[in-house]
Chain A
Amino acid sequence: MTYGIPQNPAAIIAGAKATPALMAEIDKALGFNRPLIVRYGLYLWNLLHGSLGYSFIMHEAVGPMVARAVVPTLALTVFAVVMELILGFGFGLLSDWLRSGIGDAVLRISTVTFLSLPAYWLGVVCLSVVAFRLGWFPLGGYSFAGAILPAFAVALPGSAYYARLLRSSLQQVWMEDYARTALAKGVSPARVLVRHVLRNALLTIVTYFGLDLANLLSGLIIIEVIFDWPGLGSLTNQAIGNLDGSVIMAVTLVAACAVIMANFLTDVLYLWVDPRISYA
Chain B
Amino acid sequence: MALGRPVFRLGVPALTSLALLGCAGVTGAKGMIHKGPVNGGTVTMALDSNIATLDPADWTDIPSMYAMDEIYSTLVTYAENSTTIVPDLATWTVANGGRTYIFHLNPKARFSNGVPVTAADVKFSLDRVTSYNASGQGPAPYGSSYSNIVGYNRWFNNGSAPKPGVEGLAGIQVLNPQTVVIHLHTPAGSFLNTMALMSAVIVDPAVVKRWGPKDYEYHAVGSGSFKVQSWTPGREMVLVPNPYYFGPKPHVSKVVIEENVSPQLQLLRFEKGQLSFDINIDSGTYLTIRSNPKLAKLFHKAPYNEIVFLKMNLSHKPMQNKLVRQALNYAVNKQLLVKVVLNGLGQPASQVLPPKVPGYNTSLKPYPYNPGLARELLKKAGYPNGLKLNYYYLSANPDVVRMALILEQTMAAAGFHLQLHAVSQIGTYFPFIINPKNNWDLAFSDWPQDYPNAQDFLYNLYERLLTLNPNARQWVDTPKFSRLINQADALPTSKSAEADRLYAEADAIGQQNAYWVNLYYPDQEALVQSWMAPNLNLYMHPVKGPQFQYMWIHRP
A and B: interacting chains: yes
Binding site for B on A (CB under 8 A): 5-20, 22-23, 25-30, 54, 56-61, 65, 68, 127-128, 131-132, 135, 139-140, 142, 225-228, 230, 234-235, 238, 241-243
Q: Which residues of B have CB within 8 Å of A57? A: 52
For the complex of A and B, 10 pairs with smallest distance between CB atoms: A29-B138, A15-B60, A7-B427, A26-B138, A7-B428, A8-B431, A11-B430, A243-B427, A14-B141, A59-B53
Q: Which residues of A have CB within 8 Å of B427? A: 7-9, 11-12, 242-243
Q: Which residues of A have CB within 8 Å of B428? A: 5-8, 243
Residue from the set B260, B432, B435 with the largest chain A CB neighbour count within 10 Å: B260
- Known contacts A65-B234, A139-B272, A140-B265; is A12 also within 8 Å of B138 by CB? no
Of B17-25, B173-181, B368-376, B460-468, which stretch is located at the interface?
B460-468
A-facing residues in B225-260 (Cβ within 8 Å): 232-235, 258, 260
Q: List 19 A-B contacts (CB under 8 A).
A: A8-B427, A11-B427, A13-B141, A14-B60, A15-B61, A19-B144, A19-B464, A19-B468, A20-B435, A25-B138, A27-B138, A29-B138, A58-B52, A58-B233, A59-B217, A61-B214, A225-B262, A228-B260, A238-B260
Cross-chain contact B425 with A18 (CB below 8 angstroms)? no
Cβ 8 A contact of B50, one of A16, A58, A131, A226: A58
Q: Is residue B298 within 8 Å, beta carbon to beta carbon, of the partner chain?
A: no
Cross-chain contact B426 with A25 (CB below 8 angstroms)? no
Nearest CB on B from A76, distance (A): 15
Cross-chain contact B233 with A60 (CB below 8 angstroms)? yes
Residue from the set A8, A61, A127 with the largest chain B CB neighbour count within 10 Å: A8
Q: Is residue B396 within 8 Å, beta carbon to beta carbon, of the partner chain?
A: yes
Cross-chain contact A18 with B430 (CB below 8 angstroms)? yes
Residue from the set B138, B139, B258, B426 with the largest chain A CB neighbour count within 10 Å: B138
For the residues of B in contact with A, the DSSP-based class is loop
Cross-chain contact B260 with A230 (CB below 8 angstroms)? yes
Nearest CB on B from A232, distance (A): 12
Nearest CB on A from B61, distance (A): 7
Q: Which residues of B have CB within 8 Å of A54? A: 214
Q: Is residue B500 within 8 Å, beta carbon to beta carbon, of the partner chain?
A: no
Besides the contacts A56-B137, A225-B262, what 14 more A-B pairs have beta carbons closer than 8 Å? A13-B137, A15-B61, A16-B426, A22-B139, A25-B132, A59-B137, A59-B214, A61-B214, A139-B268, A228-B260, A228-B261, A228-B265, A234-B234, A238-B260
Cross-chain contact B268 with A128 (CB below 8 angstroms)? yes
Cross-chain contact A68 with B232 (CB below 8 angstroms)? yes
Nearest CB on B from A84, distance (A): 25
Q: Is residue B269 within 8 Å, beta carbon to beta carbon, of the partner chain?
A: yes
Nearest CB on A from B401, distance (A): 16
Give the complex CA separation of A127 and B262 in angstroms: 13
Q: Which residues of A have CB within 8 Å of B262? A: 225-226, 228
Q: Which residues of B have CB within 8 Å of A128? A: 268
Give the complex CA separation of A12 and B396 in angstroms: 14
Give the complex CA separation of A20 and B216 in angstroms: 28
A-facing residues in B195-239 (Cβ within 8 Å): 214, 217, 232-235
Q: Is residue B535 within 8 Å, beta carbon to beta carbon, of the partner chain?
A: no
The contact string, 1 if C-beta is below 8 Å from chain A, for chain B 258-289, is 10111001001101101000000000000000
- Known contacts A20-B434, A234-B260; is A59 also within 8 Å of B55 by CB? yes
Cross-chain contact A7 with B425 (CB below 8 angstroms)? yes
Q: Which residues of A have CB within 8 Å of B88? A: none
Nearest CB on A from B435, distance (A): 7
Q: Which residues of A have CB within 8 Å of B430? A: 8, 11, 16, 18
Q: Is residue B148 within 8 Å, beta carbon to beta carbon, of the partner chain?
A: no
Can you name the residue of chain A whose Cβ is closest to the Cβ of B259? A230
Cβ 8 A contact of A65, one of B233, B258, B272: B233
Q: Which residues of A have CB within 8 Å of B235? A: 68, 142, 230
Q: Which residues of B have CB within 8 Å of A68? A: 232-235
**Interface range on chain B: under 10, 10 to 19, 20 to 34, or 35 or more?**
35 or more
Q: Which residues of B have CB within 8 Å of A15? A: 60-61, 141
Nearest CB on A from B91, distance (A): 30
Q: Which residues of B have CB within 8 Å of A60? A: 233
Residue from the set A17, A29, A61, A242 with the largest chain B CB neighbour count within 10 Å: A17
Q: Is residue B450 within 8 Å, beta carbon to beta carbon, of the partner chain?
A: yes
Give the complex CA separation of A23 and B268 in angstroms: 39
Can you name the residue of chain B whose Cβ is closest to the Cβ of A225? B262
Can you name the residue of chain B whose Cβ is closest to the Cβ of A56? B137
Cross-chain contact B214 with A11 (CB below 8 angstroms)? no
Q: Which residues of B have CB within 8 Å of A13? A: 58, 60, 137, 141
Cross-chain contact A139 with B138 (CB below 8 angstroms)? no
Q: Is residue B133 within 8 Å, beta carbon to beta carbon, of the partner chain?
A: yes
Nearest CB on B from A136, distance (A): 12
Q: Which residues of A have CB within 8 Å of B217? A: 59
Give the complex CA separation of A242 and B172 in angstroms: 37
Nearest CB on A from B64, distance (A): 10
- Known contacts A5-B425, A225-B262, A243-B427; is A29 also within 8 Å of B133 by CB? yes
Can you name the residue of chain A whose Cβ is closest to the Cβ of B447? A17
Give the complex CA separation of A208 and B222 in angstroms: 54
Q: Which residues of B have CB within 8 Å of A230? A: 232, 234-235, 260
Q: Which residues of A have CB within 8 Å of B138? A: 10, 25-30
- Known contacts A139-B272, A226-B262; is A22 also within 8 Å of B141 by CB? yes
Cross-chain contact B144 with A22 (CB below 8 angstroms)? yes
Can you name the residue of chain B whose Cβ is closest to the Cβ of A28? B138
A-facing residues in B130-170 (Cβ within 8 Å): 132-133, 137-139, 141, 144
Q: Which residues of B have CB within 8 Å of A242? A: 426-427
Cross-chain contact A139 with B431 (CB below 8 angstroms)? no
Can you name the residue of chain A whose Cβ is closest to the Cβ of B133? A29
Q: Which residues of B have CB within 8 Å of A9? A: 427
Nearest CB on A from B260, distance (A): 6
A-facing residues in B73-94 (Cβ within 8 Å): none
Nearest CB on B from A174, distance (A): 47
Nearest CB on A from B446, distance (A): 8
Give the complex CA separation of A99 and B366 in angstroms: 74
- Known contacts A12-B427, A238-B260; is A139 also within 8 Å of B265 by CB? yes
Give the complex CA separation of A91 and B431 in angstroms: 55
Give the complex CA separation of A127 and B61 in angstroms: 30
Cross-chain contact A127 with B265 (CB below 8 angstroms)? yes
Give the complex CA separation of A12 and B141 in angstroms: 11
Can you name the residue of chain A whose Cβ is closest to the Cβ of B445? A16
Nearest CB on B from A274, distance (A): 44
Nearest CB on A from B288, distance (A): 11
Can you name the residue of chain B whose Cβ is closest to the Cβ of A244? B427
Residue from the set B214, B265, B447 with the largest chain A CB neighbour count within 10 Å: B265
Nearest CB on A from B284, distance (A): 13
Cross-chain contact A17 with B460 (CB below 8 angstroms)? yes
The contact string, 1 if C-beta is below 8 Å from chain A, for chain B 434-463, is 110000000000010010000000001000
Cross-chain contact B435 with A127 (CB below 8 angstroms)? no
Q: Which residues of A have CB within 8 Å of B49? A: 238
Q: Which residues of A have CB within 8 Å of B132? A: 25, 29
